[in-house]
Chain A
Amino acid sequence: MIAEEVMQFLVLASLIITAYLSIKFKDLIACAISLGIFSFLLSLEYYILQAPDVAIAEAGIGAGLTTAIFILAIRGTERREVEE
């Protein structure tokens, strides 16, 4: 039972790291990739909490659709974040 708790702690630590990275980077492609990793790990966290239907919804919307929409938006605008 202690292995399960250690596993959940590691997933939550990875979630915090990638969520911080997605607001820190200046390259917006790197931000989109970090947000993709965040949504994958969030899906794994739902899976550990034994909610597989929510995990399927998160995998479909978070992994596939949101990343594609962000890439489309970056293609329409600029790639680098500019300093004001």
Chain B
Amino acid sequence: MDVWFLTAGILVLWILISCIRAILGPTAPDRLVALDTINTLVVASMIILGVAYREVIYIDVAIVYALLSFVATLYIAKYLEGGP
């Protein structure tokens, strides 16, 4: 069994565990914390899968993704903070 696919599979299992907090969370900041955790885990699994498929160009998707998910998290946090 290839070790890279096994690592990516376990990372996706951690993503599924983090989704439970998005289901249960009593307030909106709890769900935002779950979103932030899922972002980091998805970037890590994208880097692992880029090596698993032996394609260098796939790692660039992870860079774009890490920078764009940051914008979404900051925007939701700015709304929850209140004000203009």
Q: CB atoms of A and B under 8 A apart anywhere in the complex? A: yes
Contact check, B76 vs A18: say whether CB atoms are below 8 A apart: no
Q: Chain A residues with Cβ under 8 A from B45's Cβ? A: 44
Contact check, B49 vs A48: say whether CB atoms are below 8 A apart: yes
Q: How many residues of B contact A (CB 8 A)?
A: 40
Is chain A's interface secondary structure helix, strand, loop, or mixed overall? helix
- Interface mask (B37-73 → A, CB under 8 Å = 1, otherwise 0): 0110010011001000101011011001100110110
Q: Chain A residues with Cβ under 8 A from B53's Cβ? A: 50
Also in contact, A47 and B19, with CB within 8 A (given A3-B1, A3-B9) = no
List 13 A-B pairs, Cβ < 8 Å: A3-B2, A6-B9, A7-B9, A29-B76, A33-B28, A34-B31, A44-B46, A47-B58, A47-B61, A59-B69, A60-B68, A63-B72, A71-B75
Chain B residues packing against A (C-beta within 8 Å): 1-2, 5-6, 8-9, 12-13, 15-16, 19, 22-23, 28, 31-32, 34-35, 38-39, 42, 45-46, 49, 53, 55, 57-58, 60-61, 64-65, 68-69, 71-72, 75-76, 79-80
15 other A-B residue contacts (CB within 8 Å) besides A44-B42, A56-B64: A1-B5, A3-B5, A3-B9, A21-B23, A27-B28, A33-B22, A33-B28, A33-B35, A37-B22, A37-B35, A40-B35, A52-B61, A60-B64, A68-B75, A71-B79
